[in-house]
């Protein structure tokens, strides 16, 4: 088992990083009634861990027996019947799904699954909670219609079903949905906290950590705990006992992007642009999200530029990322950004050095 | 055997006014509707206004008061954005419901006028086609059916529909009205709320009573019966003042890298950027030592960025863009580089 899963806190008591949040959640659960919840925060900050621990706290061990199924929803829209297939994880007490996978039909999925849950409502057996929990991931990627259709559904079926929504940025969740939930902000753990966690794992695994080793990994992880633990395990596999100046190798794609940045800084020409296109394609076919590529590229470029240019470049990065979101083919916008950068940079070079 | 717990209910539902006269702060519409209760004469209605001002509540209350619990089910059709409301539904479901004539069975104590009511909640999310399909339906069956449209933005309702209705604007609630309502709930629930917390609550909910009540309930669940202003801020998702201030301070330093670091920090802390922008705007506008021209430049950028965020653009890049533009504005750098 990967360390990320092995050392995931299973109960709210064991949560170390967000103990304040965990305490509040425990209070909510002990009061028997629980509002709809919206967890938001950057990735790798522990949203999922908190949600799983919370569900366990609510329902006990029964919630841990999950099965994965591919369910097909048959939805009658009046004129035709839609068939939507969606993977979901379910236990006796909760269902977890990723409705945005259904694309533009996500609206039907959201309505249908909630209504179905409300229909076969669990019986209030021995003072157990008489509701099920529906965990929806990536609500920020839900279409506007789907979010709208959540509004009233949430209120109507609140007796039989509680929603736990999980997303990266709450800006993309409509105000109407946000105001119906208890918002829980999960911030990224600080580097010190990451160091603590790494040292804890090191102790459990009986590893000798050289001084400063954990801090280095933490710094490299960008305050992403999951990534830090993965780095840590990679290092362990690579070489143990650790040497004092060992560092985790950067991710393949990040290295690749930094190569691209050196490429376009050394030469600005249509030919180079063409060469860079191949590299972008390479990254995209390997399923690296285009916005991550753009962000990383910007970060790499910012390291090497003059202050005046930085303003200009970050403006254009934001501009093309926005266009990318509106458009449908990412490669155009990545290329446009590179071309724009090349022209600005070339002009700058000519102006300063002639 | 565990004690029987009463079915938990959001306070928003629990304290929803059941009668038209209890709806706070909307005098005109209440006057018209109380008249209706006596004369049973009712035009088509269009309620619009910001969220949390009592539009849905008013519509539901009048329907309940007209028909009473027994007839309600057969006389009132309530559709909102959760239900499918494409053009097909308008052509079939709404039309069928509208076409049925009603008897004059009367229940004691209720006026039971001889028409039905169709409530279309969140009508601004209906497509234009669906709205167009309603036009004739409204007129043909006006003898037996009244329509209530409820929306946030009246501009999204097509003109022909709007002109067929009596329009009522719902005002955002003033601070006193809101406070008295909140105090009422606090008394019922046995909560302790000092005047400072009360004014914080009014400030962060911006005239939206539903939001205020939701915050209050969340805070009560988490922190027990005595609630301080900081508790309210932490459940509301409002960003602490010093975070916004430190962003501005970073911009004032004029160093791009300092601002970049601050922006990464804010993103890592998970603060919602759209909220941050709103508060940043407040800080910029209320700062005295920034000349108007610079303020205008920053505000323009904020507006553009807000649109980008609504389109789903990346938060980090957009916030960085705002920070960089703020620096450029503060130091009077040109908008585009000229070499």
Report chain B residues whose CB lies below 8 A from the CB of A40. Answer: 270, 272
pLDDT at B319: 94
Q: A281 falls in which pLDDT band (50, 70, 90)?
A: very high
Of B17, B24, B320, B21, the C-alpha closest to B170 is B24
Of B49, B100, B53, B104, the C-alpha closest to B76 is B100
Contact status, residue A209 vs residue A215, Cβ threshold 8 Å: no
State the maximum Cα–Cα separation within chain B, in Å, rounded to a whole number: 84
| Lowest mean pLDDT segment, chosen from A118-132, A182-196, B129-143, B200-214 | A118-132
Q: What is the pLDDT of chain B when averaged over all its residues?
A: 85
Q: Are domains B9-167 and B239-329 of this chain identical in fold?
A: no
Residue located via tokens 């949905």? A177
Cα–Cα distance between A240 and A244 in angstroms, integer?
11
**Ramachandran bin of B21, using left for φ above 0, alpha for ψ from -120 to 50, beta for the remaining angles:** alpha
**So where are chain B's domains?**
9-167, 173-234, 239-329
Q: Which positions 236-255 of A are in contact with B (Cβ < 8 Å)?
A: none
pLDDT at A296: 92
pLDDT at B1: 32
Q: Are strands A81-90 and A67-76 parallel, antiparallel or unpaired?
A: antiparallel
Q: Are strands B226-227 and A132-137 parallel, antiparallel or unpaired?
A: unpaired
CATH topology of domain B9-167: Rossmann fold (3.40.50)
What chain A residue is nearest to B301 in terms of C-alpha separation? A315
Cα–Cα distance between A176 and A154 in angstroms, integer?
11
Our CA-based measurement puts residue B81 at a distance from the nearest CA of chain A, in whole angstroms, of 5
Structure letter (DSSP) for residue B194 = -
Residue located via tokens 């309702």? B157
Contact status, residue B118 vs residue B79, Cβ threshold 8 Å: yes
More confident residue, B94 or A335: A335
* pLDDT tens, residue by residue, B28-48: 888 888 888 888 788 899 999
Report chain B residues whose CB lies below 8 A from the CB of A296. Answer: none
What pTM does this model have? 0.80
More confident residue, A225 or A81: A225
Whether A169 and chain B come into contact, CB under 8 Å, resolves to yes
The mean pLDDT of A162-187, rounded to a whole number, is 83
pLDDT at B302: 94
3-state helix, strand, coil in chain B (%, to 5): 60, 10, 30
Cα–Cα distance between B295 and B297 in angstroms, integer?
5
* pLDDT tens, residue by residue, B158-197: 998 889 898 999 888 888 888 888 888 888 888 888 888 8
Residue A19 pLDDT greater than 60, yes or no: yes
Starting at the edge strand that comes first in sequence, how are the strands of the sheet with A132-137 ordered?
A67-76, A81-90, A94-97, A132-137, A161-167, A37-40, A182-185
What chain B residue is nearest to A41 in terms of C-alpha separation? B270
Whether B312 and chain A come into contact, CB under 8 Å, resolves to yes
The shortest CB-CB distance from B270 to any of A33, A150, A185 is to A185
Find how far residue A323's CA is from the centre of its chain. 22
Q: Say yes or no for a CB contact (<8 Å) between A322 and B237.
A: no
Handedness of CA A131, A135, A140, A144 (dihedral sign): negative
Give, in degrees to the nearest 5, the angle at Cα B285 between B283 and B289: 90
Report chain A residues whose CB lies below 8 A from the CB of B88. Answer: 77-79
CB proximity list for A337: less than 8 A, separation 6 or greater: A294, A297, A316, A317, A320
- For residue B193, the surrounding DSSP H or E stretch is strand B192-193
Contact status, residue A225 vs residue A233, Cβ threshold 8 Å: no
Residue A127 pLDDT greater than 90, yes or no: no
Cα–Cα distance between B196 and A119 in angstroms, integer?
45
Cα–Cα distance between B138 and A345 in angstroms, integer?
62
Burial label, A323 (beta-carbon count in 10 A; 0-12, 13-18, 19+)? middle
Residue B314 pLDDT greater than 80, yes or no: yes
pLDDT at B83: 66
Residue B132 pLDDT greater than 90, yes or no: no
Q: Are domains A3-185 and A252-353 of this chain identical in fold?
A: no
Residue B316 pLDDT greater than 70, yes or no: yes
Whether A16 and chain B come into contact, CB under 8 Å, resolves to no
Q: A11 falls in which pLDDT band (50, 70, 90)?
A: confident
The shortest CB-CB distance from A318 to any of B270, B312, B317 is to B317
pLDDT at A213: 84
More confident residue, A1 or A298: A298
pLDDT at A285: 92
Phi then psi dihedrals of residue B224, to 5 deg: 80, -160
Report chain A residues whose CB lies below 8 A from the CB of B90. Answer: none
Give, in degrees to the nearest 5, the angle at Cα A345 between A344 and A347: 65
| Lowest mean pLDDT segment, chosen from A260-264, B5-9, B230-234 | B5-9
More confident residue, A188 or A172: A188
pLDDT at B3: 36
The string of DSSP letters for A96-116 reads EE-GGGGGGGHHHHHHHHHHH
Contact status, residue B205 vs residue B178, Cβ threshold 8 Å: yes
The string of DSSP letters for A254-304 reads HHHHHHHHHHHHH--SHHHHHHHHHHHHHHHHTT--HHHHHHHHHHHHHHT
Residue B2 pLDDT greater than 60, yes or no: no
Residue B203 pLDDT greater than 80, yes or no: yes
CATH number of the A3-185 domain: 3.40.50.300
Our CA-based measurement puts residue B104 at a distance from the nearest CA of chain A, in whole angstroms, of 31
* pLDDT tens, residue by residue, A305-314: 888 889 999 9
CATH class of B239-329: mainly alpha
**So where are chain A's domains?**
3-185, 191-238, 252-353
* pLDDT tens, residue by residue, B80-120: 766 666 777 777 888 888 888 777 667 777 778 888 899 98
Query: Percentage of chain B surpassing pLDDT 70?
Result: 94
Residue B300 pLDDT greater than 90, yes or no: yes
Our CA-based measurement puts residue B115 at a distance from the nearest CA of chain A, in whole angstroms, of 26
The shortest CB-CB distance from A348 to any of B51, B333, B339 is to B339
Residue A161 pLDDT greater than 50, yes or no: yes
The mean pLDDT of A2-27, rounded to a whole number, is 84
Q: Say yes or no for a CB contact (<8 Å) between A150 and B121.
A: no
Q: Are strands A182-185 and B45-48 parallel, antiparallel or unpaired?
A: unpaired
**Ramachandran bin of A37, using left for φ above 0, alpha for ψ from -120 to 50, beta for the remaining angles:** beta
Residue A173: CB atoms within 10 Å: 22
Q: Which positions 74-103 of B are in contact with A (Cβ < 8 Å)?
A: 80-84, 86, 88-89, 92
CATH number of the A252-353 domain: 1.20.272.10
Report chain B residues whose CB lies below 8 A from the CB of A183. Answer: 235-237
Contact status, residue A261 vs residue A230, Cβ threshold 8 Å: no
Q: Say yes or no for a CB contact (<8 Å) between B275 and A171.
A: yes
- CB neighbour burial string for B147-179, b if at least 16 within 10 angstroms, e if fewer: bbbbbbebeebbeebbebbeebebebbeeebbb
Of B20, B18, B24, the C-alpha closest to B32 is B20
Report chain A residues whose CB lies below 8 A from the CB of B3. Answer: 127
Whether A308 and chain B come into contact, CB under 8 Å, resolves to yes
Q: A124 falls in which pLDDT band (50, 70, 90)?
A: low
Whether A186 and chain B come into contact, CB under 8 Å, resolves to yes
Q: Say yes or no for a CB contact (<8 Å) between B122 and A188.
A: no
Contact status, residue B89 vs residue A78, Cβ threshold 8 Å: yes
The string of DSSP letters for A192-243 reads HHHHHHHHHHHHHTT-PPPTTHHHHHHHHTTT-HHHHHHHHHHHHHH-SSPP
CATH number of the B173-234 domain: 1.10.8.60
Give, in degrees to the nearest 5, the angle at Cα A21 between A168 and A38: 40
Q: Which of A51-55, B4-8, B219-223 has the highest mean pLDDT?
A: A51-55
Whether B334 and chain A come into contact, CB under 8 Å, resolves to no
The string of DSSP letters for B123-177 reads GGGS-HHHHHHHHHHHHHTTTTEEEEEEES-GGGS-HHHHTTSEEEEPPPPPHHH
Whether B338 and chain A come into contact, CB under 8 Å, resolves to no
The mean pLDDT of A152-167, rounded to a whole number, is 79
Q: B5 falls in which pLDDT band (50, 70, 90)?
A: very low
Cα–Cα distance between B105 and B115 in angstroms, integer?
11
Q: Say yes or no for a CB contact (<8 Å) between A310 and B256.
A: yes
More confident residue, A353 or A246: A353
Query: Percentage of chain A surpassing pLDDT 90?
Result: 19
């Amino acid at each position: 088992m990967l360390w990320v899963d092995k050392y995931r806190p299973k109960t709210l008591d064991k949560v170390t990083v967000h103990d304040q949040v965990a305490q509040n959640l425990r209070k909510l659960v002990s009061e028997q009634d629980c509002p709809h919840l919206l967890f938001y925060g950057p990735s790798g900050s522990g949203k999922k861990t908190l949600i799983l621990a919370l569900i366990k706290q609510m329902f006990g061990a029964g919630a841990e027996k999950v099965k994965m199924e591919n369910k097909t929803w048959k939805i009658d829209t009046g004129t035709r019947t839609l068939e939507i297939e969606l993977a979901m994880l379910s236990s006796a007490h909760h269902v977890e799904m990723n409705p945005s996978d259904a694309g533009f039909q996500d609206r039907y999925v959201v309505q249908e699954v909630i209504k179905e849950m409300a229909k076969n409502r669990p019986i209030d057996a021995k003072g157990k909670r008489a509701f099920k929990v529906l965990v929806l991931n990536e609500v920020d990627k839900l279409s506007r219609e789907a979010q709208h259709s959540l509004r009233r559904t949430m209120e109507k079926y609140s007796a039989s079903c509680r929603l736990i929504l999980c997303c990266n940025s709450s800006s993309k969740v409509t105000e109407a949905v946000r105001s119906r939930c208890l918002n829980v902000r999960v911030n990224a753990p600080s580097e010190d906290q990451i160091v603590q966690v790494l040292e804890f794992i090191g102790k459990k695994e009986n590893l000798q950590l050289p001084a400063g080793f954990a801090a280095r990994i933490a710094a490299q992880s960008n305050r992403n705990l999951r990534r830090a633990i993965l780095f840590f395990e990679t290092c362990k596999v690579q070489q143990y006992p650790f040497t004092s100046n060992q560092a985790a190798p950067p991710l393949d794609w990040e290295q690749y992007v930094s190569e691209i940045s050196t490429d376009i800084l050394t030469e600005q020409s249509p030919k180079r642009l063409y060469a860079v296109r191949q590299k972008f394609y390479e990254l995209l076919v390997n399923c690296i999200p285009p916005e991550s590529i753009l962000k990383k590229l910007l970060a790499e470029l910012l390291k090497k530029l003059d202050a005046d240019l930085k303003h200009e470049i970050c403006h254009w990065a934001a501009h093309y990322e926005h266009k990318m979101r509106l458009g449908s083919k990412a490669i155009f916008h990545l290329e446009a950004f590179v071309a724009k950068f090349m022209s600005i940079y070339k002009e700058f070079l000519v102006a300063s050095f002639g | 055997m565990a004690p029987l717990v009463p079915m938990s209910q959001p306070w928003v539902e629990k304290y929803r006014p059941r009668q038209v006269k209890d709806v706070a702060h909307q005098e005109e519409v209440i006057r018209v509707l109380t008249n209706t209760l006596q004369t049973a004469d009712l035009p088509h209605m269009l309620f619009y206004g910001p969220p949390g001002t009592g539009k849905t509540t008013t519509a539901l209350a009048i329907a309940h008061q007209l028909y009473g619990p027994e007839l309600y089910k057969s006389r009132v059709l309530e559709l909102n954005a959760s239900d499918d409301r494409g053009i097909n539904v308008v052509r079939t479901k709404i039309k069928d419901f509208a076409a049925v004539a009603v008897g004059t069975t009367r229940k004691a104590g209720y006026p039971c006028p001889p028409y039905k009511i169709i409530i279309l909640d969140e009508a601004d999310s209906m497509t234009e086609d669906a709205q167009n399909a309603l036009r004739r339906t409204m007129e043909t069956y006006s003898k037996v059916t009244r329509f209530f449209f409820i929306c946030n933005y009246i501009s999204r309702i097509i003109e022909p529909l709007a002109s067929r209705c009596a329009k009522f604007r719902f005002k955002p609630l003033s601070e006193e009205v809101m406070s008295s309502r909140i105090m009422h709930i606090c008394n019922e629930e046995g909560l302790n709320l000092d005047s400072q917390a009360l004014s914080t609550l009014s400030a962060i909910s911006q005239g939206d009573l539903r939001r205020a009540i939701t915050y209050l309930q969340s805070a009560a669940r988490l922190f027990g019966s005595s609630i301080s202003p900081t508790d309210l801020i932490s459940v509301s998702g409002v960003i602490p003042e010093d975070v916004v201030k430190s962003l501005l301070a970073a911009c004032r330093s004029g160093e791009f890298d300092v601002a970049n670091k601050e922006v990464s920090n804010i993103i890592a802390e998970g603060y919602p950027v759209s909220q941050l922008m709103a508060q940043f705007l407040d800080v910029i506008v209320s700062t005295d030592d920034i000349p108007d021209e610079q303020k205008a430049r920053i505000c323009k950028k904020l507006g553009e960025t807000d649109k980008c965020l609504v389109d789903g653009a990346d938060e980090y890049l957009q916030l960085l863009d705002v920070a960089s533009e703020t620096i450029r504005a503060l130091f009077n750098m040109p908008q585009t580089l000229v070499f």
